């Protein structure tokens, strides 16, 4: 099969397009013909070796954890999916090797849900990792409730844009940091935009004098510090970007595959409650350029790579 892979840690220059062996399908997995795979910041961080303390790389590594596609072969123990089913998945294992930037991926059923019919394959590919991250942080870690005021950083990004929509659906007031060019987009999602940068804490206190009930940090550094400063006395803080959150009494979160959570997100997408904005689409051969663009950090929504369906 055609795939993107890398044989050593490094920049996007180590990514190669070429032939890789077709994946073997275990008893609890299904073989998915990939239609689209989304780019996530964690992908390039893994490729550059930043996650090697917790995720061993078995080279050559095919990157990518997000996928949308069609089941072409169920494993021997699988009765959840059949040939022809359209699925989405956050296909993460406990090591780096068998990712989604390929024509086929063998996906454990614990990582999959049925694709929302209301989303294109490109949109659907952008839902799993970011959607699960937002879902699990908001509902398991921060435990947001109706009537609360929630701060979301990078509200126009992949995780942030979905967090805004989910928190609004829960009945929260949502304030989201974003650059001025993304303020209208954040408003469309249901959030109240505020410009990040110098003076952010003052702007947030002006909007929410009593402090936030919950703050969701997706950036780290200064954003995390400001989040802690602008919490209500009993406010909750979570970060997916900076372990320094512990020093502020908050919690660090790393998303995990969860078929039930993913199915819930798919249901919300079917109902039109959450949408996925696709910023740019690249072909599989152009995956290195997709990663370079993502690493610049100014993406609105998601960057997606599509796979040629001939053959």
Mean pLDDT of 16-20: 98
pLDDT score, position 308: 82
Beta strands in 196-230 (DSSP E): 212-217
Q: What angle do CA 267, 270, 273 make, to 5 degrees?
A: 85
Beta strands in 120-168 (DSSP E): 149-152
Percent residues over pLDDT 70 in the chain: 99
pLDDT score, position 190: 98
Whether residues 25 and 102 fall in one domain = yes
Whether residues 231 and 298 fall in one domain = no
Whether residues 160 and 119 fall in one domain = no
pLDDT score, position 310: 59
CATH number, domain with residue 201: 3.40.50.720
Question: How much is the mean pLDDT over the chain?
Answer: 97
Mean pLDDT of 185-199: 97
- Res 311 pLDDT > 50: no
Is residue 269 a part of any domain in this protein? no
Whether residues 202 and 242 fall in one domain = yes
pTM over 0.95: yes
Whether residues 169 and 282 fall in one domain = no
Rounded to whole angstroms, what are the CA distances from 282 to 177, 188, 279? 27, 26, 10
Rounded to whole angstroms, what are the CA distances from 2 to 21, 61, 68, 79? 9, 13, 17, 28
- Res 4 pLDDT > 80: yes
Q: What is the pLDDT of residues 226-255, one digit of tens each?
A: 999 999 999 999 999 999 999 999 999 999
Whether residues 153 and 248 fall in one domain = yes
pLDDT score, position 250: 98
> Which residue range forms the structural domain that includes residue 150?
130-252
């Amino acid at each position: 099969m055609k795939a993107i892979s890398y044989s050593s840690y490094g920049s996007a220059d180590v990514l190669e397009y070429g032939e890789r062996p077709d994946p073997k399908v275990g008893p609890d997995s299904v073989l998915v013909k990939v239609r689209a795979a989304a780019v996530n910041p964690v992908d390039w961080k893994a490729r550059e070796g930043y996650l090697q303390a917790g995720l061993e790389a078995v080279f050559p590594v095919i990157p990518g954890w997000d996928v949308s596609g069609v089941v072409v072969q169920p494993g021997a123990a699988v009765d959840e999916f059949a040939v022809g089913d359209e699925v989405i998945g956050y296909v993460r294992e406990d090591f780096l090797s068998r990712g989604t930037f390929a024509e086929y991926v063998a996906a454990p059923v614990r990582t999959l849900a049925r694709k929302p019919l209301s989303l294109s394959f490109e949109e659907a590919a952008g839902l799993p990792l970011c959607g699960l991250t937002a879902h699990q942080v908001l509902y398991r870690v921060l435990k947001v409730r109706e009537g609360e005021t929630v701060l979301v950083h990078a509200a126009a990004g992949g995780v942030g844009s979905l967090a805004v929509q989910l928190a609004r659906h829960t009945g929260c007031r949502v304030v989201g940091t974003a650059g001025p060019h993304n303020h209208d987009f954040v408003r469309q999602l249901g959030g109240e935009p505020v410009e990040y940068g110098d003076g952010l804490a003052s702007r947030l206190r002006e909007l929410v004098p009593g402090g936030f009930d919950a703050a969701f940090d997706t950036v780290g550094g200064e954003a995390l510090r400001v989040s802690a400063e602008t919490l209500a006395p009993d406010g909750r803080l979570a970060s997916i970007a900076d372990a320094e959150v512990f020093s502020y009494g908050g919690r660090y979160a790393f998303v995990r595959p969860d078929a039930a959570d993913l199915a819930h997100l798919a249901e919300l997408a079917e109902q039109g409650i959450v949408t996925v904005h696709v910023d740019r689409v690249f072909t599989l051969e152009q995956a290195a350029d997709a990663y370079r663009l993502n690493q610049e950090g100014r993406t609105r929504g998601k960057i997606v790579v599509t796979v040629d369906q001939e053959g």
